[in-house]
Amino acid sequence: MHHPWPDELLRVPHRRDVPFAKLTTLGVGGTCQWLFEPTDEKEAATFLRACHKEGLPYRVLGMGSNLVILGDVAIPVLRLRFPAELKRHGNLISAPASFGHIRLSQQAAEMGLSGMEYAAGIPGSVGGALRMNAGAYGAELIDVLDTFRFLTPEGELIEKKPTPGEFKYRWSFFAEVQAVATAMTVKLAEGDRDTIKAQVAVNMEKRGTSQPLSKRNAGCIFKNPTGASAGRLIDQAGLKGLRVGDAEVSPEHGNFLVNLGKASASDFAELMDTVRAKVKEVHGVDLEPEVEIWRNASPVAGSL
């Protein structure tokens, strides 16, 4: 199906018909029919301006670690591919949105700078971390965030310091506006390089042992309900090890639904629905997804 995208949009580097299995950590989904991969803020701004002008819906993809895709996506998908370089000024480190979050914590440790250790076990990109105010072990991104840069839906570049209310627990204002994060600067503290590196290693190991990182997954699938653990509720409902095709509730951690190899989008959708229904039946609790879910999206419906 060909779409008469505006010429301006097609000037941005892009690829056709890329399987989402290659673009997400879960390895499930249909085809990304149009993947736009700008290499700098200027190209990203061109993409946004063109979509805005034409009233075209689009989606933004990071490293695909917190994402379950159920079907094909025919609308443009934006995935930043900025040069993977960090800039350091004293205790400040700037990283592009497409830089790996775990890699940032490792590089900060190498520099003898402390504050990013919490990120050692959190996959995804810096942009994704900004978008959901990523955190673990009682620390979160907002604790060290100095400034951040983003493009408005009209393609205007803004750099600012965070203000109260913009970042909360596992949430940021990016969830409500169609802005695209492009970079951030974190303010860290000098410390002992070996101690910081050891803490990063411990956090990596901790995440690895309590969670089935050897199998393809999208991280925790459901949010923890108030005062409860989604994983425990799933476990108590007797769902660990439940399979639909190659989609499985991990025997190691109830809140991880894993892809054993060839799980389809429909396997996954069915498994998620079954888990939610059973937890509701046993505990009377409605589990809400923590992952982002994309269903079939076509430009005609204009659905986002």
Domain residue ranges in the chain = 7-81, 87-210, 216-289
Distance CA 208, CA 203 (A): 8
Phi, psi of 296 (to 5 degrees): -50, 130
Distance CA 206, CA 246 (A): 26
User: How many of the other CB atoms lie within 10 Å of CB of 175?
Assistant: 12
One DSSP character per residue, 276-292 reads HHHHHHHH-----BSSE
Q: Which fold has domain 7-81?
A: 3.30.43
Q: Which fold has domain 87-210?
A: 3.30.465
Counting other chains too, the contacts that 49-55 makes at CB distance below 8 Å and 24 or more residues apart are: 49/8, 49/154, 49/155, 50/5, 50/6, 50/8, 50/9, 50/12, 51/9, 51/76, 51/153, 52/153, 52/154, 52/155, 53/6, 53/8, 54/5, 54/6, 54/9, 55/302
Distance CA 31, CA 16 (A): 9
At 304 the pLDDT is 33
Per-residue pLDDT of the chain (304 residues; tens, 9 = 90+): 556 789 999 999 999 999 999 999 899 988 999 999 999 999 999 999 999 999 999 999 999 988 899 889 999 999 999 999 999 999 999 999 999 999 999 999 999 999 999 999 888 899 999 998 998 888 999 999 999 999 999 999 999 999 999 999 888 999 888 899 999 999 999 999 999 999 999 998 877 655 656 788 888 899 999 899 999 999 999 999 999 999 999 998 899 999 999 999 889 999 999 999 999 999 999 999 988 889 866 654 333 3
At 205 the pLDDT is 84
Copy the structure tokens of residue 271. 């498994």
At 2 the pLDDT is 59
Domain 216-289 has what CATH class? Answer: alpha beta
- Kindly report the pTM of this predicted structure: 0.88
